Amino acid sequence: MNGRKFGCYTALVTPFERTGNRWNHPINFHALDSLVEFQIRGGVDGLVIMGSTGAASVVSHDEHVHVVAHVQKKFGEKIQVIAGDGSNCTKEAIELARRIEQEAKVFAHLSISPYYNKPSDSGIIQHYKAIADNLEGNIIVYSVPSRTSGLGILPDMAEELAEYRNIRGRHNIIGIKEASGDIERIRETIKRTHHKNFVVISGDDSLTLPIIRIGGVGVISVASNILPSDITNLVHIALGTQNEDRYYKIKEDTDKKLQPLYSALFPKARQGVIENPSANPCLCYYALNKMGYNIGIPRLPLTDGESWEKEAMNKALRDLKLIKD
């Protein structure tokens, strides 16, 4: 993550065994290795381990650190590793991230904005500054209002965090993963932080190209679990595209090809039906299992999707020629 370079980082799923209770079945490290190797072959720029897509919400801190350490030790010389971490408790966020630095030797963090306890803007800013003061490594803040509190990290908040020097005098809050879905807000964040060596990264596969178009530097992708080479190539082409006509042709082709997959990964409630659709990473597990990666099902309360959601995913995978049936 030098300068403004980023690219495509996969928010990697964490495989589970198919044995034992659904609320406590073990992590499958053999399948994890297969997934990492698939990503390396696909040419992705890096991996986020134990983020939301990695089902971090259903593992213990010991397991969390163990998975990050395993990937770093086995593959760290081949690919950049970012640890997903953070908490709605600042003390817990600092302690987890410190363990990751000390035990896993990973010094890049994607730190989720506080959830559930609904801190004020000032509370969120103080939370991140305290984390920055207590870590050696660099931090990408993660703004995802649909999973956290309030409006997430607004442009003025991102600007203040981008300017912050920690107690050692270093700028170590270096970017934001933006998953607000609001292009105008993201544009304003880029405008306010662009000159501060602070990057804005798409956290929404379907908005990656528009965000790159306005100054974003890449994506932390769910879809690249399934299509690492395709998504990486798309991002690299988009980052190198200055010609407007070529950009819109890339976007048109991509939307036609990949939007059904994006929709299947992030299902919305059906029209006229009151229900809670499955959240990421549920359908990503289902898709990878259908493709032959024996990664199990995440721990409860997560599942691998409802029947109607699986039908949509099956169609998307068939259309992409990733499965036959």
Which domains are seen in the chain, by residue range? 7-242 (3.20.20.70)
Section 29-35 average pLDDT: 98
d(Cα 237, Cα 246) in Å, to the nearest integer?
A: 10
Query: Angle at CA 122, nearest 5°, toward 112 and 184?
Result: 65
The pLDDT tens digits of the residues spanning 262-315 come to 999 999 989 899 999 999 999 999 999 999 999 999 999 999 999 999 999 999
Q: Does residue 29 surpass a pLDDT of 70?
A: yes
Cβ-count burial of 267 within 10 angstroms (0-12 exposed, 13-18 middle, 19+ buried)?
buried
Where is 6: in which H helix or E strand? none
Tell me, yes or no, if 73 is annotated catalytic: no
The pLDDT tens digits of the residues spanning 228-241 come to 999 999 999 999 87
Please report the pLDDT score of residue 95 as a whole number.
98
Cα Dmax for the chain: 57
Please report the pLDDT score of residue 2 as a whole number.
42
- Model pTM score: 0.95
Please report the pLDDT score of residue 4 as a whole number.
52
The catalytic residue among 9, 128, 129, 142 is: 142
pLDDT band, residue 248 (cuts 50/70/90): confident
The catalytic residue among 177, 251, 290, 310 is: 177
Please report the pLDDT score of residue 1 as a whole number.
54
- Give Cβ neighbours of residue 279 (< 8 Å, ≥ 6 apart): 302
The pLDDT tens digits of the residues spanning 143-201 come to 999 888 788 999 999 999 999 999 999 999 999 999 999 999 999 999 999 877 899 99
d(Cα 239, Cα 75) in Å, to the nearest integer?
A: 26
